[in-house]
């Protein structure tokens, strides 16, 4: 394509006023693209603020009800749920108990907000006594998560959340075959209509540490490097995504999002027909909060910039701890 050069071409003409900038803006973040993570803890009296995540709480079921009313009013249409059970054991059995905290939370939300989109994260790190994302077996190199044993328990958990009323199942443990296994289990139990949002590409990141305080799910020994991806790898992300697409994932996710914009871009180019999510992780929320508190960055502008960068890279929707604040800002916005 032949472009006229300066002085015929003057890109500044289309930046002259707020109205024209808005007219030619390529990407917008709207409240309808945002998913709010919530933490619900069994046996809690009242809500408890998470110290590394100001404004976020571990909620009791009662406080969950209050929170849902508030966010519905704000315009948030989707939540992703994380549970902290009363009891942890080697098998994470509260995850697939029909009386489990997430099963109760799903039912609570469904009554208060029938139209709220309820995404159930499926993993075991919050439910196991050792804090790993699956069932730990001894190997010749020490303890490690056993893939296929974990798949058996993932089936039960997915079906239990589906029975409770979840709208979307989101396995986050990076087990091989997790999508195929959950798809088959859902189909066999009359839940063929429920979509799977796969954490297809999840890196072993340093940006999850506040989440681990919130969900009380830090590994008691070792790390997650045998199941989450090596952060130096990009081509491998395409392989992970390809497998999940073949296994029947309805939607894919890249996590973390902001520090992996190249991966969002590549996955979207490879699978433009599949909705793609990006996870804006707890560590990044904490960093922006801390800098904003010191007056070192403008919180609102920084958050808008980062969320927009994920959309521009190709994300269709974003899981973010800033969902509520974003809606507040949007609702009180004067046109910019
Ligand atoms: C658990 C899980 C984690 C997050 C979402 N699901 C933590 C981890 O993998 O250790 C991270 C969320 C965040 O940091 O906001 N599998
Ligand atoms: Zn996990």
For residue 205 and ligand 1, the question of a CB distance below 6 A is answered with no
pLDDT for the residue numbered 128: 98
Q: What mean pLDDT is predicted for residues 215-223?
A: 95
* pLDDT score for 334: 61
Cα 319 to Cα 306: distance, rounded to the nearest angstrom: 12
The string of pLDDT tens digits covering residues 268-301 is: 999 999 999 999 999 999 999 999 999 999 999 9
Give the pLDDT confidence score for residue 335 in this predicted structure: 57
* Ligand 1 pocket check for 211: Cβ under 6 Å: yes
- Rounded to the nearest 10°, the torsion over CA 215, 220, 226, 231 is 60
| The pLDDT of residue 336 | 52
What is the pLDDT averaged over residues 92-110?
98
Q: Looking at residue 2, what is its pLDDT?
A: 83
How many Cα neighbours within 13 Å face the side chain of 189? 17
Rg (CA), the chain: 21
Arithmetic mean of pLDDT, 83-97? 97
> For a substitution probing ligand 1, which of 56, 123, 157 has the most ligand atoms within 8 Å of its CB?
123
pLDDT for 17 beyond 90: yes
281 lines ligand 1 (CB under 6 A): yes
Q: Atom 8, ligand 1: which residue's CA is nearest?
A: 208
Give the mutation target among 126, 131, 281, 286 for probing the ligand 1 site: most ligand atoms within 8 A of CB.
281
Q: Which two tokens stand for residue 198?
A: 């796969």
DSSP 8-state class, residue 89: B
pTM, full prediction = 0.97
Catalytic residue set: 202, 255
Give the nearest ligand 1 atom to 208 CA.
14
Ligand 1 near 150 CB (within 6 A): no
Ligand 1 within 6 A of CB of 314: no
Mean pLDDT, to the nearest integer, of 188-192? 98
Residues above pLDDT 90, as percent of the chain: 97
Percent of the chain scored above 70 by pLDDT?
A: 99
- Our mutation pick for probing the ligand 1 site, out of 119, 172, 229, 255, counting the most ligand atoms within 8 A of Cβ, is 172
Residue 53 binned pLDDT confidence (cut-offs 50, 70, 90): very high
**Ligand at shortest distance from the CA of 286:** 1
Mean pLDDT of the residues in the chain: 97
Instruction: Determine phi and psi for 209, rounding to 5 degrees.
Output: -65, -40
Residue range 138-172, pLDDT digits in tens: 999 999 999 999 999 999 999 999 999 999 999 99
User: According to the model, what pLDDT value does residue 226 have?
Assistant: 97
Given this model, what pLDDT does residue 1 score? 77
Match 């045998």 to its residue by tokens: 226
- Residues 266-272: contacts with CB under 8 Å, at least 24 apart: 266/234, 266/237, 266/238, 267/200, 267/201, 267/237, 267/238, 267/241, 267/314, 268/313, 268/314, 268/315, 269/314, 270/238, 270/241, 270/242, 271/241, 271/245
Instruction: Return the closest-CA partner of residue 59 out of 109, 118, 121, 133.
Output: 109
């Amino acid at each position: 394509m032949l472009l006229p050069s300066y002085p015929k071409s003057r890109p500044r003409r289309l930046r002259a006023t707020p109205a024209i900038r808005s007219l030619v803006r390529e990407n917008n973040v709207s409240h309808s693209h945002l998913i709010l993570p919530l933490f619900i803890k069994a046996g809690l009296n009242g809500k408890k603020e998470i110290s590394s995540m100001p404004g976020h709480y571990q909620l009791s079921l009662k406080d969950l009800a209050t929170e849902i009313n508030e966010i519905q009013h704000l315009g948030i249409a989707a939540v992703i749920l994380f549970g902290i059970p009363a009891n942890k054991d080697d098998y994470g059995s509260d995850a697939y108990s029909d009386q489990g905290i997430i099963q109760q939370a799903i039912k609570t939300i469904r009554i208060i907000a029938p139209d709220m989109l309820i995404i159930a994260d499926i993993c075991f790190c919050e439910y196991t006594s050792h804090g790993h994302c699956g069932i730990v077996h001894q190997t010749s190199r020490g303890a490690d998560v056993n893939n296929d044993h974990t798949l058996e328990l993932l089936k039960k958990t997915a079906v239990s959340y589906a029975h409770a009323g979840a709208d979307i199942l989101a396995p986050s443990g990076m087990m091989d075959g997790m999508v195929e296994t959950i798809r088959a289990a859902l189909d066999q139990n009359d839940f063929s209509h429920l979509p799977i949002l796969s954490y297809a590409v999840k890196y072993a990141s340093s940006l999850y540490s506040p989440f681990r305080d919130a969900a009380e799910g830090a590994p008691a020994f070792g790390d997650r490097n045998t199941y989450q991806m090596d952060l130096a790898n990009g081509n491998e992300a395409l392989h992970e995504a390809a497998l999940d697409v073949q296994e029947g994932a309805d939607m894919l996710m890249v996590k973390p999002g902001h520090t992996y914009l190249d991966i969002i871009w590549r996955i979207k180019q490879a699978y433009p027909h599949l909705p793609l999510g990006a996870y804006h992780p707890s560590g990044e929320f904490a960093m922006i909060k801390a800098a904003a508190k010191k007056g070192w960055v403008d919180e609102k502008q920084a958050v808008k910039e980062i969320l927009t960068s994920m959309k521009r890279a190709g994300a269709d929707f974003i899981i973010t701890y800033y969902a509520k604040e974003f809606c507040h800002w949007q609702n009180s916005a004067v046109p910019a």
